[in-house]
Every structure is written in structure tokens, then in C-alpha cells.
Chain A
Amino acid sequence: MGKTLFEKIWESHIVVEKQNNPTLIYIDRHLVHEVTSPQAFDGLRQNNRKVRRPDLTIATMDHNVPTTDRSLPILDQTSSVQIKTLEKNCKDFGIKLFDINSPNQGIVHVIGPQLGITLPGTTIVCGDSHTSTHGAFGALALGIGTSDVEHVLASQTMWLEKPKPFEIRVEGKRKNPHAVTAKDIVLSIIKNIGTSGGTGTVIEYRGEGITDLSMEQRMTICNMSIEAGARAGLIAPDEKTFDYLRNREYTPKNYESLVDSWKDHLKTDSDAKFEKEFILHIDDIAPQVSWGTNPGMTCDVTDSVPSPDEFSNGDPNQKRGAEKALDYMALAPGTLIEDIKIDRVFIGSCTNARLEDLIEASKVIKGQKISPYVKAMVVPGSQMVKKQAEEMGLDKIFIDANFEWREAGCSMCLGMNPDILSPGERCASTSNRNFEGRQGTGGRTHLVSPVMAAAAAIHGHFVDVRKMDLS
């Protein structure tokens, strides 16, 4: 029987495999940031261990860096300590660091691909759940906790149980690909399979609806695999993948011969079997807006807020969950999504802060002003994205519309730096999680695509971007 792409990558990274035992897997790339690493480095010191492969370990600071003027000191002392601690740890252990003033600084999942550090067929880990992003390049990319970060720093390996392969086929063609985006595809998937629909699996996204996407759009899809509970998301590499990674700063010297080997090997065999399957038809899907407090609580922009009764399904927790979510979100069932007014707009995060995201959002904004009732910001995913956007004049388009144009970082996606919602504020956000308090205590998050967020900023409420000319 043939093998899935996941099984091929898994098998080529086995270090130890014994009957009735977990498997020790070799890790090709380890990405490190300031929040989940300090205790791991402390553990190495306490046990007199070194970093086994500093050459395969790359660090940056993204989670709590300020996104305002970088020439000013960091006011939050605890953030400052965490940032300085990463600097010291990288120096002590010989790890390459893109620090706060580096032109390569940015969200770890944005800089990995754009520097050519993320490669097809590799295993990648990072102490961050959105590591699944790198799966867009056909890499097996896993989010891990701090103990495993320490284990990988010390040994370049990790104990794992083999996840099950899960095929999600995305079929058909979007009628308006500027209005209905990769974000809407992945939110539709999570809406259908649920936030634990992928638990214990590695999802491989396949089909015309996936191969049609650009690399940056594929990253948006794989990024949110974790929101469906999956261990990782994968897309088989193709010419788009190989083109994207060619001539990047860290692209290997023997790149073309690597491409030749990837072409033959890195695909699911036609007779391979998946343990689970789901098909999404995208011909007629609408832009998505989350209404609740997890990413599965999502509906079409043309829908109204659902009633908790629709979720009873014989499971009282589902109904109770919807009731609690509506209470937290201060939404009444039956309210049209397009009638929901917003206070804030956040265009950013590892889900949607790449150059294409900013280009698409700028088309909505160009020549317009945001609603006087809305505060809006763009936080580019990396300093390189910011520079490229500025070279195209996108910063001017956003600033002229009264958006704030910030420095790169995770920012308002998770509320670790000063970029947070105030209690009760409602935000149209291009990030990945609408959990209670995620963007600040009492803050209310609606997950949307960059074009939907941009349109909401202009109108002060959600609008169906399919009605706009975005070509």
C-alpha cells in the first residue's frame, strides 16, 4: 500500500522505534521565541547541557515586543526582562537571533518561510501552537510546550506518538477569490469539523481549492490547523512552493538538487489511505465572520447570529457553550452579522499579516477614510513585510485612511504587549483565536479575513466584501 506525505516525512525522521514504544523523531529546525524558552534554557544550565545543534536553531522576539517606535525603551519591565533574557540565552548558547532591531525580526512563523529556513520534507518545531503554519511548504511542523523545547534544544529529537493522517479535500473554484479568501476556506472547515475535529491527526489539505492558492494563502490555511485540534497541517509542495523558497537569505546552496528529490518523493501516493476524510466545496462559500468564543463558532457574513437552540444536538454542553459565548460577546440571536458595529480593527498575526494580506486589504482602503467610531491598526508580520509594503506605498494608503502603521510582532493577537482591547470593545481581527479575553480582558473578537477587516474599518460594521470591486 502507498504512503501519505505525512507518513513519508515521519518515516524519514525516525531515530528510535521499538515495538510498543513511542517514537523518537529527529527535528531539522527549531524556532525559538522569548515567551516559551526561558525555563528551557534554565533547565539546560541546571543540568550542564549544551544546545546540541545551535546551527539548526533560530530565535526571534515577537510575542511581547512593542509595535511602536523601536528607538524608545520598553516600558513594560517584565517584557523587557523576557526580551533581554532571550538575548543572553542566545549569546550563551550560540544561537542565531534576529533581535528587536534586526531587519529580519518578525513573527516566527512569518520569518521562517521568508528567510528560506522552512523547507519541504523537514521536521520543524517551535514553542508555539501556530507552528502548523510551516506545513504549507510540506514540512511536518509541530507546536510544543517548554519541556519539549528543552528536550529538543538538548537532543535535537522529540518523543512522539504517531498521529493519524486526515485528508481534507477542498474542491471547486471561488467565484470571487479577492473577496472569498484562504481565511474563509479555513474558517469554513473549522465551522464544519469543529475545534476538536482534527484531534490526534495531521491534516493534509488537498484538491484544486488548495493548489490554486498562493504560498502565503496556503500558510493561512495550515496556520489554523491547530484551531481544529490537529497536531499539524500539511500541503504537498509544488512549483509554487519551490519558487517561493528560491534565492531566500538562508536557502541551501544545493537547492536545485533538493528540489529534484522533493518532486519525486514529497507527495501522497495514489493508493495511500487516510484514516479520516472531509470534503469542502468552495464554489459558493461566503466571507466568514466568527460570532462566538472559539473559531468553530463562525457563520457567513450574510447570516444572522444563531440561536443556542440550533446547537442542542442532544448535547447540553454545546447549547450552554453557545449561550455563554453570546453572553460574553453581548450578541442577541437573530442579529444580522452586517448590523454588528465594531470599535477596533486589527490587521496582523501569523495568520494574516503577510505582504499579500496587506495588498488585498489596501485595495479596500485606498482613497477612503475609516469610520470615525473605529480605531484601526496594521501590524505587519515581519520587518521585511513592512519594508516591502512601504516600498509599494501601502503604508501611505493605510495611514491616509487613519490606520496606525506599526512595527512587526504578534501584537493584539494575544494581548501580551500594550496592544490590547479594553473591556467590552469589539474588534474585527485577522488573527486566529476569538477566545474570551484573548485580545485583552473583556475584549470581544470577531475573526475575519484581511479584506473583511478592512471593509469593517471603513463602514464601522461588517459588510459583505463580495459587493465591492476588489480586482
Chain B
Amino acid sequence: MKGNIIKYARDNIDTDVIIPGTYLKIHDYAELATHAMEGLDPDFHSKVKEGDFILSGKNFGCGSSREHAPIALSHSGIKAVLALSFARIFYRNSVDGAFLLPIEIGQDAYDGISEGDEISIDVSTNEIKNITKNQTYKMKPFSELIGKIIAAGGLFKYKPDQD
């Protein structure tokens, strides 16, 4: 999986800025996507491209349990969020509906990857390649449940006896 980085160099990006509460009444996901990240970056909708990745700091997706947050990012074209750590409800919500991949990274990847860099992610080897800068980093493996839900293609496809 390949994409370009949109970097937010800060911790604690909460689901209220990912999709502000006033838009939780919207049921059309394409319309919801037009408001993604509006609370933090009003230019997000105009700059995001299909297949982009977000890179951010610690505790990404904290706060409200709204699944609208990964849905809004996913329908904006975001395929993965790379962060130093994730709040757990967001981490789970991201994969339940196969919306996007929540990738936990180390400080080396966080520091090494810049806005606009082209990145490839290989979850089978837990490897992240920075094509722009010709660097390689390790991602943290998915937690047990998250990895299994991703492999199944979403919560409703997951069966324990597949293992």
C-alpha cells in the first residue's frame, strides 16, 4: 500500500476536531467527508487525495467514541493513519468497518517522515518504506484482535475458528 503523507506534528488529535459534533447528524458519508479534520485544518478537504496517509503524534483519536471519525477520514481517501499511539476506541473503530489502517510507529518514523513524503506500508513484514527519502522503519505489530479483524476484512467477517 502506497501513499503520500499529510503530517500533523502534534499529540492528542481528538475525534471532535476530526469530525465536529454538529456533523454527526449527517448520514451521507461523502458529505460527512467534506467536513473531515475541519476542526483542525480547514484546508484538509481541498488537499487530501485518494490513498493519502495521515501522520501524527501520541494518543490519536482520543475523546468521543464516534465512528464517524474514521468514516470521515476513510471517505476522504485516507487509507491509513500513522501515529505514535492511538486512543483505543478509535483504534478499534478504524478496523471494525475496514475504514482505515491504524499504524503505530516509533519515534524514528515520526521524525523521519515529512509532509508530502511518499510512503509504502507492508503489514505482512511490519515495514514502512519512505520512498522519497529512501529510509525504512518498523511499525509496531497490530494488537492481536485488531490484526485478526483487519485480516478478516472487518468485524462482521471475523470468526474465531478461522485461526
> Which residue of chain B lies nearest to A440 when distances are taken between CB atoms in the complex?
B22
CB distance from B160 to the nearest CB of A (A): 5
Q: For A145, list chain B residues within 8 Å (CB).
A: 65-67, 89, 92-93, 96
| CB-contacts of A422-451 with B (<8 A) | 433, 435-438, 441
A437 lies within 8 A of B144 (CB): no
Q: Taking A143-B65, A159-B155, A435-B17 as contacts, is the C-beta distance between A196 and B93 under 8 angstroms?
A: no
CB distance from B7 to the nearest CB of A (A): 12
A379-392 contact mask (Cβ, 8 Å, vs B): 1 or 0 = 00000000000000
| CB-contacts of B145-161 with A (<8 A) | 145, 148-149, 154-156, 158, 160
Q: Is A160 an interface residue (CB 8 A)?
A: yes
Q: Is B116 an interface residue (CB 8 A)?
A: no
B66 lies within 8 A of A317 (CB): no
Identify which of B14, B22, B97, B163 contacts A21 (C-beta below 8 A). Answer: B163
B1-38 contact mask (Cβ, 8 Å, vs A): 1 or 0 = 00000000111101011001110111100000000000
Q: For A441, list chain B residues within 8 Å (CB).
A: 20, 39
Binds A, one of B43-51, B56-64, B73-81, B127-135: B56-64
> Which residue of chain B lies nearest to A143 when distances are taken between CB atoms in the complex?
B65
B16 lies within 8 A of A436 (CB): yes
Identify which of A78, A143, A161, A317 contacts B9 (C-beta below 8 A). Answer: A317
B62 lies within 8 A of A229 (CB): yes
Q: Taking A147-B93, A321-B10, A436-B40 as contacts, is the C-beta distance between A21 and B160 under 8 angstroms?
A: yes
| CB-contacts of B72-118 with A (<8 A) | 85, 87-89, 92-93, 96-97
Q: Taking A416-B25, A438-B16 as contacts, is the C-beta distance between A324 and B59 under 8 angstroms?
A: no
Q: Is A79 an interface residue (CB 8 A)?
A: yes
A78 to B11, CA, bound (A): 33
Q: Is A127 an interface residue (CB 8 A)?
A: yes
A355 to B160, CA, bound (A): 46
Q: For A20, list chain B residues within 8 Å (CB).
A: 144, 163
A159 lies within 8 A of B158 (CB): yes
Chain A contributes a number of interface residues (CB within 8 A of B) equal to 57
A284-322 contact mask (Cβ, 8 Å, vs B): 1 or 0 = 000000000010000000000000000000000110110
Q: Is A378 an interface residue (CB 8 A)?
A: no
A148 lies within 8 A of B92 (CB): yes
CB distance from B97 to the nearest CB of A (A): 5
Identify which of B12, B21, B63 contacts A129 (C-beta below 8 A). Answer: B63
Q: Is A207 an interface residue (CB 8 A)?
A: no
CB distance from A373 to the nearest CB of B (A): 26
Q: Is A116 an interface residue (CB 8 A)?
A: no
Q: For A229, list chain B residues within 8 Å (CB).
A: 59, 62, 87-88
A22 to B66, CA, bound (A): 23
B144 lies within 8 A of A435 (CB): no
Q: Is A368 an interface residue (CB 8 A)?
A: no
B160 lies within 8 A of A147 (CB): no
Identify which of A22, A39, A147, A226 contacts B27 (C-beta below 8 A). Answer: A39
CB distance from B75 to the nearest CB of A (A): 13
A127 to B9, CA, bound (A): 29
A10-25 contact mask (Cβ, 8 Å, vs B): 1 or 0 = 0000001010111010
CB distance from B68 to the nearest CB of A (A): 8
A163 to B160, CA, bound (A): 19
B39 lies within 8 A of A24 (CB): no
Q: CB within 8 Å of A: which residues of B?
A: 9-12, 14, 16-17, 20-22, 24-27, 39-40, 57-59, 62-67, 85, 87-89, 92-93, 96-97, 143-145, 148-149, 154-156, 158, 160, 163
Question: Which 7 pairs from chain A and chain B are nearest by CB?
Answer: A147-B96, A145-B93, A145-B67, A78-B25, A22-B145, A196-B59, A146-B67
Contact sample, A vs B, 17 pairs, CB 8 Å cutoff: A18-B163, A21-B144, A21-B148, A35-B24, A36-B65, A36-B67, A144-B65, A144-B89, A145-B89, A147-B93, A147-B97, A147-B154, A196-B59, A196-B62, A196-B85, A199-B59, A229-B59
